[in-house]
Chain A
Amino acid sequence: MARLNVNGSEREFDAEPDTPLLWVLREQLGLTGTKYGCGIAQCGACTVHVDGAPVRSCVLPVSALQPTQKITTIEGLSPDTSHPLQKAWVQLDVPQCGYCQSGMLMAAAALLKDKPRPTDTDIDAAITNICRCGTYNRVRAAIKVAAGETRAAADAGIDVVHVVRSARA
């Protein structure tokens, strides 16, 4: 049995040492929010944090990790979907199919930790995840909204949707 610290808990699992972290998370630990997209660190759907830094878990063998290293997955980004990025994502209706969004959010969360007010260039450099539905402009605007730029959505030509789901809205 090997051990990992995932989302603040010590977890035991049984996998070959060369198994990528992605598949241990998904298949051994049941944390399926982290996605498989390419297996070659190209698309970023598998992005998680290791000690706060974004990593592409599909190419990271679990044997390269120490049990003391802190792994955070999308399930651990916040206990109640209250991370500023999650709130901004909802406010701007960012996801379409949603499959890439866990990776997008984890990449964005690492960026904001590093640079609380990222520029467009910072976003371009840090968010290299692939989205086929095409949510890029909303991802960019939502990162800025989460960073406190309240005008970011309007500047990008994106109207904030009616978050209150009311017929009287």
Chain B
Amino acid sequence: MNHPVIDTPGATAVTRRGFLGSTAALGALAAGGGFVLGFPTRAAAQGAAPEITAWVVVHPDERVVIRIARSEMGQGTLTGLAQLVAEELECDWTRVTTEYPTPGQNLARQRVWGNFSTGGSRGIRESHDYVRKGGAAARTMLVQAAAQGWGVPAAECRADQGVITHAGSGRRTTYGAVAAAAAKLTPPADVALKDPKDWKLVGQRIARLDTVEKTNGRQVYGSDLRLPGMLNAAIRDCPVFGGKLRGFDAAAVEKMPGVRKVVRVGDSAVAVVADTWWRAKNALDALPVDWDYGPNLQQQQAAIDATIRAGLDAEQAAVGNRQGDAKAALASAARRIEAVYSYPHQNHATMETMNATARWTPERCEVWTPTQNGEAALAATAAAAGLPPAQCEVYKIHLGGGFGRRGAVHDWVRQAVTIAKELPGTPVKLLWSREEDMAHGLFHPVTQCKLTAGLDARGQLQALHMRISGQSILAGIFPQNVRDGRDPVVFQGLNPGGAESAIGYTVPNLLVDHAMRNPHVPPGFWRGVNLNQNAIYLECFVDEIAHATNQDPLALRRELMKNHPKHLAVLDAVAERAGWGRPAPDVGGQKVFRGLAQTHGFGSYVAACAEVSVSREGELQIHRIVAANDCGHAVNPQQIEAQVEGSFVYGLTAMLYGACTVKDGRIEQLNFDTYPMMRIKDMPKVETIVMPSGGFWGGVGEPTIAVAAPAVLNAIFAATGKRIRELPLSRHSLKA
């Protein structure tokens, strides 16, 4: 028996984590495939677990279930969003659990839970208002139900910790006791939200809700899912992007152990379906495949780099930020400084590879998958299934990392559904090998940047031209959002103003423009997106200007940042904490040098000061990084610190090692042996200053990544005099 029924650990973990999504999974198990999803409606919710509002379910035994529309992938948004709802609900936090509504339910209920997309560090900052209102409305209804029961005005009653008290009489009841009555009330048209100064849960260092099961193996990830009668699929897409599958010799592997079927998947891929994934993978490895590689077979990295380099001097470019007349000011400058930087393709490399389980019948298609955007996964399911979305459903299973790979494009879902259509009624789990995951990423865009600074006779910065050349993510994923050759996302961190990602320097004559050059490698939103390379370009170049004009890098920045107090505040905070201006203590006989960087992205202001040493042999040690983050309102400082620590691992891994290069049209790096990762021994101490200034909501998961590399690169320059302008660092020697 190669398919034992689902392992109990999985079942218990799912039960705790997500009722709606997991009910489907467990229901399917119980019914052996005949399960039909029951939509939780307000009418249906009058039973054991009344739904008060779309966001809040209160059980008679006082358990409170808070619904979370965004995906938890490690960033802590599940806990943060639950805190926001619970803050207004005035429930007992120790009784709170969470569940994911499904995308199908959201569709059926006119998107009552809003956007499911979990990217761009938007989980909390985009939904804080309506999720808090969902909690406040539920509290209002629960209090009203109690007041009606007592025949007193609701205004005389108040709620705290899930207990409702009538001030005059001292009568008390609980949320659980009045939940059924409250669920029958009409939700208030509008509710007032608390003043932030009255917050009790929001702003607290509260432990994550999802930790225990991640320490005992019980957390079920998409790749762990097991359904009765499920088969497993391994897939190979043409390794050359844009190539086609000409044919394959199924007979050569059909008799291998466990193999059930060899199927064509679209134009370009072939999959083997077997009883176990290991057997499917073995048969796929043995399968003779005939590829039509197509014209991209000729593509090489050097040619891609040359094409992008040519864009640095192209006439045509889309403008992202223009102040004054930079070109004229540069032409008349007393002194010019110029540098060219570049940033490579990189793979997200989530620890869990892409996977989805699909079951298709002519009437219905269901998909279980780790996704950052359940609604987009549902759309991909419906398109591949050839069914209307209302006849499809997606169950979000926990993600083993996302980083943007599992958001906008659901290529693996389309594949899984296409395979499942070949085996109607049978659930099939598609799991990518690491090699497939590396070959078919949606890569961090490749760009170069030429920066030209114009100084006057006194050495003051009068003009700056940043010419970015290279790849547009939008052109690859959402081409309808590219207008007149302009991709606005390219200018992250360099915009003239606004709450999202504004440049922190005032330069009298400034021009930031972009010459789009799109190689054949598909781009994607990669954690931090374009802020990553833009912060390297600008922050390292500002450092270059400082050194070229014999100015202290902090002093120059302060001069240029006078009109940008929020940018400056985080920079000042890290400089002060790190001890900028005083020599850093030696470590192990090595002199320690510092570097700075700051930026504004995803609505938050961030800065870092890195301390490094470089031995005569060129060995780099990153000792300590001080980071500051002003995200406006800090919902859970503990989670913010964890995100900042993690951002340095992501950003420094990219800086140290991250490069995917093209040979003969395909990606050369196919596993961690050639795409190395930072490990614990490389990790500096991280000190995080969470400094929310209030009045706005910024994202946390991404912005800090962008200051990791430039702070370290600037420190390396201070230590060695070597200016690294091409990444990754592993291509360079730091030897004296």
A interface list, Cβ under 8 A from B: 14-16, 19-20, 23, 26-40, 42-43, 45, 73-75, 77-78, 81, 85-86, 89-90, 93-102, 105, 123-125, 127-140, 156-159, 161-169
Specify which chain B residues have a CB less than 8 angstroms from the CB of A129 in the assembled complex.
679-680
Known: A99-B352, A99-B401. A161 touches B671 (CB 8 A): no
Known: A35-B351, A133-B646, A136-B679. A42 touches B7 (CB 8 A): no
Q: A33-B9, A33-B217, A40-B673 are in contact. Are A132 and B403 (CB under 8 A)?
A: yes
Does A98 contact B207, Cβ atoms closer than 8 Å? Answer: no
**Cβ distance B164 to chain A, nearest Cβ, rounded Å:** 15
Number of B residues with CB within 8 Å of any CB on chain A: 84
Q: Which of B206, B226, B401, B687 is the one whose CB lies under 8 Å from A30?
A: B226
- Decide: B683 and A137 in contact? CB cutoff 8 A: yes
For residue B517, which residues in chain A have a CB less than 8 angstroms away from its CB? none
Q: Which of B72-80, B420-428, B478-486 contacts A (4 or more CB under 8 A)?
A: B72-80
Chain B, 327-378, CB within 8 A of any chain A CB? 349-353
- Known contacts A30-B226, A99-B401, A167-B201; A124 and B351 CB within 8 A of each other: no
Complex partner residue of B638 from A36, A40, A75, A93, CB under 8 angstroms: A93
B399 contacts A by Cβ under 8 Å: yes
B218 within 8 A of A: yes
What 7 pairs between A and B have smallest CB-CB spacing? Answer: A33-B217, A134-B649, A134-B646, A98-B214, A97-B74, A96-B74, A99-B400
Are A165 and B649 in touch, CB under 8 angstroms?
A: no
Contacts between the two chains (Cβ within 8 Å), count: 232
A85 to chain B, nearest CB (A): 8
> Considering the chains assembled together, what is the distance between the CA atoms of A161 and B636 in angstroms?
10
| Beta-carbon contact of B649 and A81 below 8 Å | no
Q: Is the CB of A134 within 8 A of B215?
A: no
| A169 close to B206 (CB less than 8 A) | yes
Partner pick for A81 among B215, B220, B226, CB 8 A cutoff: B215
Contact A38:B680 (CB < 8 A) given known A31-B217, A134-B649, A135-B646: no
Contact of A133 among B74, B86, B204, B276 (CB under 8 A): B74
Contact of B351 with A43 in the complex, beta carbons under 8 Å: yes
Are B215 and A90 within 8 A (Cβ)? Answer: yes
Extra contacts, 18 of them, besides A38-B672, A90-B207 (Cβ < 8 A), are A29-B4, A35-B221, A35-B400, A75-B217, A93-B207, A93-B211, A95-B211, A99-B350, A101-B215, A124-B680, A129-B680, A131-B351, A132-B351, A134-B646, A134-B647, A134-B649, A136-B679, A166-B93
Give the contacting residue for B217; candidates A39, A74, A123, A164; CB below 8 A.
Answer: A74
Of B73, B216, B278, B403, which is in contact with the most chain A CB atoms at under 10 Å from its CB? B216
Measured between beta carbons, the chain A residues less than 8 angstroms from B207 are 90, 93, 161-163, 165
The reply on B648 being an interface residue by CB < 8 A is yes
Q: Nearest CB to that of A100 among chain B residues?
A: B351
CA distance A139 to B653 in the complex (A): 17
Q: Render B409-434 as a binary contact track against A, CB cut-off 8 A, 1 for contact.
A: 00000000000000000000001011
Chain B 183-233 residues near chain A, CB threshold 8 A? 200-201, 204-221, 223-224, 226, 232
Does B673 lie within 8 Å of A137, measured CB to CB?
no
Q: Check A28 against B680 for contact (C-beta < 8 Å).
A: no
Q: 1/0 per residue B632-668: CB within 8 Å of A?
A: 0000001001100111111001000000000000000
Which residue from chain B places its CB closest to the CB of A155 in the assembled complex?
B685
Q: Mark B95-113, 1 if CB is under 8 A from A, else 0.
A: 0100000000000000000
30 contacts between A and B (CB under 8 A): A27-B2, A27-B277, A28-B2, A31-B7, A32-B223, A37-B352, A40-B672, A42-B673, A43-B677, A73-B217, A77-B216, A89-B215, A96-B646, A97-B74, A98-B213, A98-B219, A102-B217, A130-B677, A131-B649, A132-B677, A133-B401, A134-B645, A135-B642, A136-B683, A137-B685, A161-B207, A162-B204, A163-B207, A164-B94, A169-B204
* Given A32-B224, A37-B434, A162-B204, A75:B216 Cβ within 8 A: yes
Q: Does B257 contact A (CB under 8 A)?
A: yes
Q: How far is the CA of A164 from the CA of B223 in the complex (A)?
A: 31
A132 B216 Cβ-Cβ under 8 A = no
Does chain A have a CB within 8 A of B92?
yes
Q: Which residues on the B side are within 8 Å of A75 (C-beta)?
A: 9, 216-217
Contact of A130 among B9, B641, B679 (CB under 8 A): B679
Least CB separation from A91: chain B residue = B207
* Contact indicator B205/A161 (Cβ below 8 Å): yes
In the bound complex, CA of A93 to CA of B75 (Å): 12
Q: Is the CB of A167 within 8 A of B200?
A: yes
Could you tell me which B residues sit within 8 Å of A by CB distance?
A: 1-2, 4, 6-7, 9-10, 73-76, 86, 91-94, 96, 161, 200-201, 204-221, 223-224, 226, 232, 257, 276-279, 349-353, 398-403, 431, 433-434, 638, 641-642, 645-650, 653, 671-673, 677-681, 683, 685-688
- Nearest residue (CB) in A for B72 is A97
Closest chain A residue to B96, Cβ basis: A165
With beta carbons under 8 angstroms apart, the residue of A93, A123, A161 that contacts B680 is A123
A28 touches B276 (CB 8 A): yes
B161–A167 CB distance below 8 A: yes
Bound-state CA distance A78–B353 (Å) is: 28
Flag if A39 contacts B433 (CB, 8 Å).
yes
Bound-complex Cα distance A72 to B400 (A): 22
Q: Is the CB of B211 within 8 A of A35?
A: no
Residues of A within 8 A of B402 (CB): 97
Find chain A residues with CB under 8 A from B74 CB. 95-98, 133
Judging by beta carbons under 8 Å apart, are A99 and B681 in contact?
A: no
Closest residue of A by beta carbon distance from B684: A137
With A32-B224, A35-B351: A86-B93 Cβ-Cβ less than 8 Å: no
Other-chain residue from A31, A74, A97 in contact with B401 (beta carbon distance below 8 A): A97
Nearest CB on A from B639, distance (A): 8
Does B673 contact A19, Cβ atoms closer than 8 Å? Answer: no
Residues of A within 8 A of B688 (CB): 157
A81 and B232 alpha carbons, distance in the complex (Å) = 31
Given contacts A37-B434, A42-B671, A169-B204, contact A96 B75 (CB under 8 A): yes
Bound complex: CA A132 to CA B399 (Å): 12
Q: Which residues of A contact B205 (CB under 8 A)?
A: 159, 161-162
**Chain A proximity of B606: nearest CB distance (Å):** 15
Contact yes or no, A138 B7, CB < 8 A = no
- For B219, list chain A residues within 8 Å (CB): 98
Chain A residues contacting B399 (CB-CB under 8 Å) are 97
Residue of A nearest to B687 (CB): A157
- Residues of chain A contacted by B645 (CB below 8 angstroms): 134-138
State in angstroms the CA–CA spacing of A131 and B215 once bound together. 14
Instruction: Identify the closest chain A residue to B349 (Cβ).
Output: A132
Which residue of chain B has its CB nearest to the CB of A140? B680
A39 to B475, CA, bound (A): 34
